[in-house]
Every structure is written in C-alpha cells, then in structure tokens.
Amino acid sequence: MKNLFSLQGRVALITGGSRGIGKMIAEGFLHHGAKVYISARKGGALEETATELSAIGPCIPIVADASGADGAQKMADAFLGHESALDILVNNAGAAWGAPFDEFPKSGWDKVMDLNVKTPFFLTQKLHDALKRGAAKGHLAKVINIASIDGVSVNPMETYSYAASKSGLIHLTKRMAIRLIQDNIAVSAIAPGAFASDMNRMARDHGDMVAQAIPAKRIGATEDMAGAAVFLASRAGDYVVGSTLIVDGGVTYARG
C-alpha cells in the first residue's frame, strides 16, 4: 500500500508536455519517481520546461510534430531513438478551432481531428511493442488519453470539431482499452475542465471570473491534474480500464 502511487523506475512519454496540462502531468510523474520525456513542436519552450523540470527528476525534451499518422510515426521513431521500452504514454497534444456554423472551414476539421483523434491512435499503435516491453517488467503499461469535458457535455461555444474529436477520443479509449488490456496495457482517459493553459486562455487570464461558473468555485490546479494522472499511471489505477476520469470541479453536471 505504501508504494501504491509510486512510478519509480518507469519511463513516461507526454506529448504536448511543454506547457499547460502536459507540464502539470510531467511534474507529477517526476515527483513520483518516473523518467519523463516531453514533446512539442517548438523547441524553445520545450527545452525551457525540460530544464525547469529536471530540477525534480530526469526530464528529456523531444522536438517533434506528432500530428496525424505521419507525425505519430516520426514521434515514435524519435522516442525509440532514446528508449526501447515505454511504461506510460500520455496522449495530451491537442488543438481547438472555433467558428460560426455557416463559416466553419474544412481546415478546422482536418487540423483538430488529425491531432486529437488520429495521433492518439497511431502513436499508441507505433509504440505498441515498446509498451508491451514496458509491461513485461512486471507491472501494467499505461496509456492515458487527455480528452475534455466538451466531449462529455455541450459547451456553448461553436467549437464543432473540437467537441466531436474529444467525444470520439473518449469512445476510442474504450475500444482501445478492451484490446490492449490483453497485452497488459491499461488504457484510460482524463476529461479536464478549466485549467490554465494556452488553449484555455479564459482560465489562464481570467481564472477568478471563470471560477464563478464552477461548483468548486476555482479553476483546476497543478496538483489536481497531476494527482489524477499519477493515480491512473500507477498501481493505484490498474483496475481502471477504458474509463474517463472527469476532473472539472463539477462543471459537467452543472451544465445540466
């Protein structure tokens, strides 16, 4: 029981790990003993984050655009240049797009669906063997998909492709889970609510105002996201297969 949440000796890869939710998860994993690789498209911010987090534990940056099936292959190849086995994969990198219904462009679908749905599937596929090698160490390997409460309940903003992609990712998590548990790989997801990030600039820049619409009366903190991810990644979350953990201070149920 004392080691229930330990990640000691485990290797994790977090896409979109240079900021926001990805950085929060990376920080939590490092504090619990993991060796963490973080990826992003832009090297500057990524390397700054890796340097900052390396004060806690080993954090290695990988500069790569993981979007779509081709990007997933490049991301997998880059990771496998460092490690042969993977214990924890966090599919966090994502994109959003908002536009009025009559003006919503095809590009707003392609960009969002490629990164939010295709990448989690194909990156997991390309790292399947590495995850199986991680599971061969004597514990389950883990895949954690970062969805959104917008895939669970309806956001009033006109973010059509984002809502569809996150809802699709939640269902994809279930489908992948019942296949990959056969290989001792547990797949689950987190649906975050309002956390400060570049994607959720309202929460980042106007947190007090956003908090008024949240039953918990605050936006999410680093500890909230890190705690949820550490739970799913560790032995504590081994029996969570295919489920999506909503971490939102009650917003989903308050939407009605």
CA atoms within 13 A on the CB side of 133: 10
Confirm whether 160 is a catalytic residue: no
Distance of alpha carbon 113 from its chain centroid, rounded?
15
> CA torsion 224→219→151→4, rounded to 10°?
10
- Distance separating alpha carbons of residues 239 and 141, to the nearest angstrom: 12
Contact 131, 183 (CB under 8 A): yes
- Distance separating alpha carbons of residues 108 and 49, to the nearest angstrom: 29
DSSP character at residue 195: B
Contact 196, 221 (CB under 8 A): no
> Partners of 12 in the beta sheet?
36, 88
- Distance separating alpha carbons of residues 219 and 159, to the nearest angstrom: 21
Catalytically annotated residue among 37, 160, 162, 253: 162
> Partners of 186 in the beta sheet?
142
Which residues are part of the catalytic machinery?
A: 162
